[in-house]
């Protein structure tokens, strides 16, 4: 089933001009304060909607609703009933996928080609976790105690989960946070990003339509320092699942200390993308470019440190620059656009600041490096795909996460050197390697400090595989068979039966 509406030309049905409401305990509500904030289209600056500015009081109500739902009939729902519900929700995501993708595109700027492209993955992820709802196992243990002891572990939902998500892929993040909650029988208070709150609200409508009971999924829109901070500190929340920047992740760790919440943190990265001279350069060089420029660089696992073995260095730099220059930067609603705008003026300024610092520190600008003007770009925060070559490890653009379309390309000579340099980063999210040498691929994959290593590919994802980081890229994994454990407590059960 596909949508009939031409979202590019007709007004999006979710954008009816009325202020949005947030979802608390199954009811659509304004903020207690009555305050709202604007969400705008970053390609045009146009106002999309007014959204409730939820604060501590609203978070209180949402957490209470989530707690009541957790202790209500939801708790007694059988795994196969949750599974059926999740398949129904997956059906609705599929049926409304175009509408959701357009909402992401309008609210945060990603090209429609990009947001549409995740359909199979996101519908598949919901179905994968639906399958897992009936695959939650404890274990039995053969203890060394005297007498007859039955010792077993039980897995139980952690309870009320607070999920705080970023703006760079609102639909993606919402599905990733909702699926394990429903699979394990937890309940959720979701805090969307202030820069892109619309898709999670529409998603919540679909969840209600699928039959998710009131209070199981709550959505409180608002700012990080208001709703986000209140959720992270709330004593009624058992776990926080956060995706976003390192600094905010650290604040959440501190805020969670009050009741020692469980945490999973999917934070930033400065991922190395390594090209050896025996690689298929015709594939490796464009992949290295796309690995940085996709979604205008606003992907946490962007391969922003490109290490290229000296013999193929000039060729890879040149190809990356050519690929970057050939990408069409434009409004996300234009099906021809490869790359959209940056999400906000603040983000554009940040990225341009890094370009300035790279110049000052002596990196060689090969292509891009500026904001795009002209009639097609003037109203948005568009940035040219940018390649800096001859970057040195200590430079800021080689160390800090930029979250923009800026590649730092650096030559290297041998394997040990590149492993050392790739690992010399506070982050450890993704890593890419291009080589035809199978032995080298295996050995370097083990030595790289990263949550994911992609060999002869980059940024691959699948519901069956885990995603997450090591070091300051955070802890915990999303997706994959292991993830449910992050939403489950283990209880040891001892029954003496002599």
By beta-carbon proximity to Mg ion, the closer residue of 165 and 306 is: 165
Q: Does 194 bind Mg ion (CB under 5 A)?
A: no
User: Residue 107 touches which of Mg ion, ligand ADP, none (CB < 5 to 8 A by kind)?
Assistant: Mg ion
Least separation in angstroms between residue 167's CB and ligand ADP is 7
Kindly determine how many residues on this chain lie close enough to bind ligand ADP according to the rule CB under 6 A: 17
Least separation in angstroms between residue 61's CB and ligand ADP is 18
User: Residue 166 touches which of ligand ADP, Mg ion, none (CB < 5 to 8 A by kind)?
Assistant: ligand ADP
CB-based contacts of 162, cutoff 8 Å, min separation 6: 63, 188, 189, 191, 231, 232, 234, 237, 239, 240, 241, 261
**In the structure encoding, which two tokens stand for residue 236, read together?**
């009624």
By beta-carbon proximity to ligand ADP, the closer residue of 163 and 337 is: 163
Least separation in angstroms between residue 448's CB and Mg ion is 35
> How buried is residue 31: exposed, middle or buried, by Cβ count under 10 Å (0-12/13-18/19+)?
buried
End-to-end CA distance of the chain: 60
Among 111, 159, 228, 303, binds ligand ADP (CB under 6 A): 228
Least separation in angstroms between residue 39's CB and ligand ADP is 12
Rounded to whole angstroms, what are the CA distances from 331 to 45, 100, 153, 380?
11, 17, 53, 8
Q: Does 251 bind Mg ion (CB under 5 A)?
A: no
CA 28/CA 248 separation, integer angstroms: 28
Least separation in angstroms between residue 191's CB and ligand ADP is 6
By beta-carbon proximity to ligand ADP, the closer residue of 48 and 418 is: 48
Q: Does 256 bind ligand ADP (CB under 6 A)?
A: no
Restricting to residues 151-170, which ones interact with Mg ion according to CB under 5 A?
A: none
Q: Does 221 bind Mg ion (CB under 5 A)?
A: no
Strand order in the sheet with 364-367: 364-367, 386-389, 406-412, 305-309, 272-275, 430-434, 452-455
Least separation in angstroms between residue 224's CB and ligand ADP is 2
Among 93, 164, 186, 383, binds ligand ADP (CB under 6 A): 164
Among 94, 104, 107, 478, binds Mg ion (CB under 5 A): 107
Among 20, 31, 39, 265, binds Mg ion (CB under 5 A): 39
Residue linked to tokens 């990080």: 224
The half-sphere exposure of 333 on its side-chain side, counting CA atoms within 13 A, is 18
CA 493/CA 77 separation, integer angstroms: 22
Outline where 370-423 has alpha helix (H): 396-399, 415-423
Restricting to residues 401-420, which ones interact with ligand ADP according to CB under 6 A?
A: none
Residue linked to tokens 């009936």: 134
Q: Does 232 bind ligand ADP (CB under 6 A)?
A: yes
Among 160, 212, 252, 395, binds ligand ADP (CB under 6 A): 252
Q: Does 251 bind ligand ADP (CB under 6 A)?
A: yes
Among 191, 234, 239, 381, binds ligand ADP (CB under 6 A): 191
Least separation in angstroms between residue 37's CB and Mg ion is 10
Tally of CB atoms within 10 A around 266: 27
User: Residue 37 touches which of ligand ADP, Mg ion, none (CB < 5 to 8 A by kind)?
Assistant: none
Interface stretch with ligand ADP, choices 147-155, 209-217, 245-253, 469-477 (CB under 6 A) = 245-253
Among 55, 194, 266, 401, binds ligand ADP (CB under 6 A): 194
Interface stretch with ligand ADP, choices 24-32, 93-101, 159-167, 299-307 (CB under 6 A) = 159-167
Name the nearest CA neighbour of 63 among 191, 242, 156. Answer: 191
CB-based contacts of 370, cutoff 8 Å, min separation 6: 352, 355, 383, 384
Nearest residue to ligand ADP by CB is 224
By beta-carbon proximity to ligand ADP, the closer residue of 228 and 432 is: 228
Least separation in angstroms between residue 225's CB and ligand ADP is 6
User: Residue 295 touches which of Mg ion, ligand ADP, none (CB < 5 to 8 A by kind)?
Assistant: none
Restricting to residues 93-132, which ones interact with ligand ADP according to CB under 6 A?
A: none
Tally of CB atoms within 10 A around 144: 6
Q: DSSP of 10-26, one letter per residue?
A: SPPTT--SSPP-EEETT
CA 153/CA 194 separation, integer angstroms: 41
Name the nearest CA neighbour of 188 among 81, 68, 66. Answer: 66
User: Residue 39 touches which of Mg ion, ligand ADP, none (CB < 5 to 8 A by kind)?
Assistant: Mg ion
Among 81, 151, 156, 245, binds ligand ADP (CB under 6 A): 245
Region of residue 25 (phi > 0: left; psi between -120 and 50: alpha; otherwise: beta):
left
Q: DSSP of 95-137, one letter per residue?
A: HTHHHHHHHHHHHH---HHHHHTTHHHHHHHHHHHHHHHT---
User: Residue 77 touches which of Mg ion, ligand ADP, none (CB < 5 to 8 A by kind)?
Assistant: none
By beta-carbon proximity to ligand ADP, the closer residue of 133 and 252 is: 252
Q: Could you tell me the maximum CA-CA distance found in the chain, to the nearest angstrom?
A: 83
By beta-carbon proximity to Mg ion, the closer residue of 53 and 107 is: 107
Looking at the annotation, which residues are catalytic? 266, 300
Tally of CB atoms within 10 A around 346: 11
Binding residues (CB under 5 A) for Mg ion: these are: 39, 107, 196
Binding residues (CB under 6 A) for ligand ADP: these are: 164-166, 191, 193-194, 223-225, 228-229, 232, 244-245, 248, 251-252
């Amino acid at each position: 089933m596909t949508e009939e509406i031409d979202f590019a030309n007709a007004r999006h049905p979710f954008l009816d001009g009325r202020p949005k409401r947030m979802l608390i305990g199954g009811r659509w509500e304004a903020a207690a304060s009555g305050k709202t904030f604007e969400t705008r289209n970053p390609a045009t600056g146009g106002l999309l909607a007014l959204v409730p500015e939820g604060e501590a009081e609203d978070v209180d109500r949402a957490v209470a609703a989530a707690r009541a739902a957790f202790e209500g009939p939801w708790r007694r729902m059988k795994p196969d009933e949750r599974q059926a519900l999740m398949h129904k929700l997956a059906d609705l995501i599929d049926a409304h996928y175009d509408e959701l993708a357009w909402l992401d595109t309008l609210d945060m700027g990603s090209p429609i080609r990009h947001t549409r492209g995740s359909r199979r993955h996101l519908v598949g992820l919901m179905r994968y976790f639906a399958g897992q709802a009936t695959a939650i196992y404890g274990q039995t243990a053969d203890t060394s105690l005297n007498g007859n002891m039955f010792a077993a572990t039980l897995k139980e939902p952690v309870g009320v989960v607070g999920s705080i998500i970023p703006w760079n892929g609102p639909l993606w993040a919402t599905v990733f946070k909702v699926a394990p909650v429903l699979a394990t029988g937890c309940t959720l208070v979701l805090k969307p990003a202030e820069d892109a709150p619309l898709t999670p609200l529409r998603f919540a409508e679909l969840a209600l339509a699928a039959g998710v009971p009131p209070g199981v999924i709550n959505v409180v829109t608002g700012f990080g320092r208001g709703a986000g901070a209140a959720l992270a500190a709330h004593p009624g929340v058992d776990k926080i699942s956060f995706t976003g920047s390192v600094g905010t992740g650290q604040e959440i760790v501190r805020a969670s200390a009050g009741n020692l919440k469980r945490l999973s943190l999917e934070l930033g990265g400065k991922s190395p993308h390594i090209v050896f001279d025996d690689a298929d350069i015709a594939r490796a060089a464009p992949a290295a470019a796309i690995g940085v420029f996709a979604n205008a660089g606003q992907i946490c696992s962007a391969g922003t440190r490109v290490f290229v073995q000296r013999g193929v260095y000039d060729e890879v730099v040149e190809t990356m620059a050519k690929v970057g220059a050939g990408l069409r930067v434009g409004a996300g609603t234009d099906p021809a656009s490869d790359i959209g705008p940056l999400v906000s003026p603040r983000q554009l300024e940040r990225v341009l600041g890094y370009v300035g610092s790279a110049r000052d520190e002596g990196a060689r600008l090969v292509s891009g490096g500026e904001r795009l003007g002209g009639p097609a770009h003037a109203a948005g925060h568009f940035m040219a795909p940018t390649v800096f070559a001859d970057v040195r490890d200590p430079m800021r653009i080689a160390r800090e996460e930029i979250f923009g379309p800026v590649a730092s390309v650096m030559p290297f000579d041998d394997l040990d050197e590149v492993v050392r340099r790739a690992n010399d980063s506070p982050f450890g999210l993704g890593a890419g390697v291009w080589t035809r040498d199978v032995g080298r691929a295996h050995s370097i994959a083990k030595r790289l400090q990263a949550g994911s290593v992609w060999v002869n590919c980059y940024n691959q994802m699948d519901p069956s595989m885990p995603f997450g980081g090591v070091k300051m890229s955070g802890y915990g994994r999303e997706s994959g068979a292991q993830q449910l454990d992050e939403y489950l407590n283990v209880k040891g059960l001892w029954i003496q039966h002599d």
